[in-house]
Amino acid sequence: MPELVFFSGTMDCGKSTLALQIEHNRSARGLQGLIFTRDDRAGEGKLSSRLGLVTDAVEAMPGMDLYGHVVALMSRGGKVDYVIVDEAQFLGPEQIDQLARVVDDLDLDVFAFGITTDFRTKLFPGSQRLIELADRIETLQVEAMCWCGARATHNARTVGGEMVVEGEQVVVGDVNRPATAVGYEVLCRRHHRRRMTAAGAQAGALSPDVLPVTSG
């Protein structure tokens, strides 16, 4: 049975690489996929991996009817055997509903890839809707690592190397941006709570207080 599958994980855990691998494996068997993406680091209409792999994709603009796009392509004689969606967290909830309709009405597998929470640890609307609707949710097994060596579970936004917790939910950046630009870093929960980035760790030692200090 066709499925809507949500592959989730932090930044830097190989989501786009897996999307490209699925595309490669299926196209090698003669299947034709349709790839949607939003705000990829390589630019509009691209699906790219930090390993340097890149392929063309359809930019899923805000308000775009993804189901309608698939139907229109098939109506013109285009072949679509499956759909891949990268950066799915940036889609609107209504677009996630459209992806579910692709599965249910067109009998196509849809593989969606994205992070679940933003730099404030709040769910992206697109990811929330995927969690609500997906037939299956897969957490990627390639674990990103915090600068301390622990498993990274949270995404942090940095400006000038300093972690920020306020601002627009979506600001396009990357984990390899210069320190003076808007960038992102993956952290364990402990260091996300402490707002301790790699740059901050180099600037000063962690507090020796390992237990909460209470008055009285």
Sign of CA dihedral 46, 140, 158, 126: positive
> For residue 56, which of 79, 73, 33 has the smallest C-alpha distance?
33
Bridge partners of 47, per DSSP, are 55
Q: Which of 3, 44, 87, 138 is catalytic?
A: 87
59 assigned to active site: no
Query: Residue 51 burial by CB count (10 A; 0-12/13-18/19+): exposed, middle or buried?
Result: exposed
Alpha carbon 182 to its chain centroid, in Å, reads 17
Q: Residues 6 or more apart from 192 whose CB is under 8 A from it?
A: 121, 153, 154, 156, 163
Residues annotated as catalytic (active site), given as ranges: 87
